[in-house]
Amino acid sequence: MGEFELIQRYFAKHRTHLAVIGIGDDAAVLEPLPKGQQQVVCLDTLVTGRHFYDGADAADVGWKSLAVNLSDLAAMGATPRWFQLGLTLPDADASWLAGFAKGLFECAEQYGVALIGGDTTRGPLSITVQAAGSVPAGMALLRSGAAVGDELYVSGTLGGAALALLHAEADQQPLNRPQPRMALGGALLGKATSAIDISDGLLADCSHVLEQSGVGATLRLGNVPLAPGIDESQLELALAGGDDYELLVTLPPNSDIATLEKIGQCALTRIGTIEAEVGLRCVSADGAPYNPGKRGWQHFGNSQ
Amino acid sequence: MGEFELIQRYFAKHRTHLAVIGIGDDAAVLEPLPKGQQQVVCLDTLVTGRHFYDGADAADVGWKSLAVNLSDLAAMGATPRWFQLGLTLPDADASWLAGFAKGLFECAEQYGVALIGGDTTRGPLSITVQAAGSVPAGMALLRSGAAVGDELYVSGTLGGAALALLHAEADQQPLNRPQPRMALGGALLGKATSAIDISDGLLADCSHVLEQSGVGATLRLGNVPLAPGIDESQLELALAGGDDYELLVTLPPNSDIATLEKIGQCALTRIGTIEAEVGLRCVSADGAPYNPGKRGWQHFGNSQ
């Protein structure tokens, strides 16, 4: 199958009003953003054996390739609009491609985002998705806005993806079909002082927020919401497992959490407080200081 | 070296006024386009052993990763603005990264385009660049606008990249450091009826224009401008070699070619005429019909 036939068969059938010119030219041409909006863009690569198993279900790979990018947009409070797909394949396997496209477009349709272009090439299996969304000008949620006295909240539960990696009999949905927190991201606009998605692990991503905000925090580990099937002895899965795609956010005291949970369609759990003293401190359920062994995912780190 | 240190060291030092928020958050936030402009976006992946030699000079790989995307923007008549980088590396080799960043930013600076974000991950060497530019609304050069009676022109010379692949002693610059035709793309706005960049080979890319425009053409092969070092017996290098990143454009009769060449900073050679009868016909220098053996580059085709 030629590249052009492959694109036509699996990827060119979805049209969108966002693109004046979509798939099929040298580049795509887009309708301007509504007045008063800024564009938000991100890009993430998934590689076999690193972000998914060799032999993983193609539909899951398609879903996740897009979902991890949408999670980055959610962390900015952006509404997703469109994406491009860079697909590198060892061969043009029709059944794999059909599955991949199915999962990819399931995710695209669930979150209202349109494929407008990309590239296919031959090589070791690897997928790069580039996604774009919009936020009201000046309102994007950044990592740098956490202020002393803010409270730290996390959405949903943590550690589910890490548990799925460890145990084949555990629920695989958190690992294979992460649900980006788009509704929550939107609900947090104008409310949260900072946000980040938890892709590297709670402690690592929390440290990014603290460093970029020039503040510190104490996390109360007894409050961290554990994914079903994780007990206290596996706390590290929730602290450093990564791949959770929940949002870690800071909110001023007395924020209306119940309303955010309702609009955001997920639970928010308070797990700590922002403090002036820089650095991340962890306190166990019994109040004792806790020294975690592993601070999260480092693609080129020594710990991997 | 951790991913964050790697990004800081090699990629985060270039700031741009285009990004409100650039490298270092979950996503980048961009300043709006000037009024009356549409955004043009593209994405291309380069894989070792397919788009460059295993062991190719890292600076050349950096240059080419961006240049092939800028060529797509040039073919739309777009002015480049920013790009994102998805870099998959087997390891964080400091000398390779320094070279790659040098070539990448040389190209970025030459064409006035800013790196605003991306992703690094570990895996078989592969580079995906996503680039964005702008055109005055409604004026992008498309593949679909060629009209009967238009004349077919090609910029520069063809076959240089294919010759470089065949012969190590040939000039390697066309293969390793392609020069996207940004100035020409801009000059063609409002003048050309269609444009495409010649990445797949002259005949293959010409066929794309003809199919999308619903027209045909006769190419006069004796007129095809051959790269230095290519003689008539190697015509197929210029017809089907690919990787040339010149522009193939259609222009109405009596267009002011001299002015386009001056503003576009390159030669334009007339190589054929658009006709109502669909299909691509080739005529040799002696006037005899010519049947090329190979129509260009197909990533998943049988001919590769």
Considering the domain architecture, whether residues B119 and B163 belong to the same structural domain is answered as no
Count of CA atoms in the C-beta half-sphere (13 A) of B281: 14
φ, ψ (nearest 5 deg) of residue A285: -55, -35
Residues A73 and A115 occupy one common structural domain: yes
Report whether pLDDT(B167) > 90.
Answer: yes
- In this structure, is residue B300 part of a structural domain? no
Residues B123 and B248 in one domain: no
Would the CB atoms of B124 and A124 count as touching at under 8 Å?
A: yes
CATH code assigned at A127:
3.30.1330.10
Q: Let me know if residue B206 belongs to a domain.
A: yes
Task: Say if B302 falls within a structural domain.
Answer: no
Question: At B236, which CATH number?
Answer: 3.90.650.10
My answer on whether B43 and B131 are in the same domain is yes
- Give a yes or no: residue B37 inside a domain: yes
Does residue A126 sit in the same domain as residue A175? Answer: no
Q: Is residue A301 part of a domain?
A: no
pLDDT in tens, A91-139: 888 899 999 999 999 999 999 999 999 999 999 999 999 999 999 999 9
Chain B residues lying within 8 Å of A120, measured CB to CB: 299-300
Residue A297 has a pLDDT of: 47
Min mean pLDDT across A188-197, A290-299, B77-86, B271-280 is at A290-299
Closest CA of chain A from B228, distance in Å: 27
- Same domain? A128 vs A198: no
State the pLDDT at residue A302. 33
Inter-chain touch B73–A142, beta carbons under 8 Å: no
Say whether both B118 and B234 belong to one domain.
no
Does residue B159 share a domain with residue B83? no
Contact A135 B29 (CB under 8 A): yes
- C-alpha distance from B39 to closest chain A C-alpha (Å): 5
Of the listed ranges A120-134, A252-266, B166-180, B289-303, the least confidently predicted one is: B289-303
Residues of B with Cβ-Cβ distance to A38 under 8 angstroms: 20, 29-32
Residue A171 located in a structural domain: yes
User: Which segment of A88-102, A287-301, B165-179, B250-264 scores lowest on mean pLDDT?
Assistant: A287-301
In A, minimum Cα distance to B124 occurs at: A124
Cβ of B27 and A41 within 8 Å?
A: yes
Q: Is the ipTM of this complex over 0.85?
A: yes
| Residues A61 and A163 occupy one common structural domain | no
pLDDT band at B304 (very low <50, low <70, confident <90, very high): very low
Q: For residues A42 and A108, state if they share a domain.
A: yes
Residue B303's pLDDT is 32
**Overall average pLDDT of the A249-260 stretch:** 98
> Between B8 and A266, whose confidence is greater?
A266
Q: Which domain holds residue B91?
A: 3-136
A58 and A9 together in one domain: yes
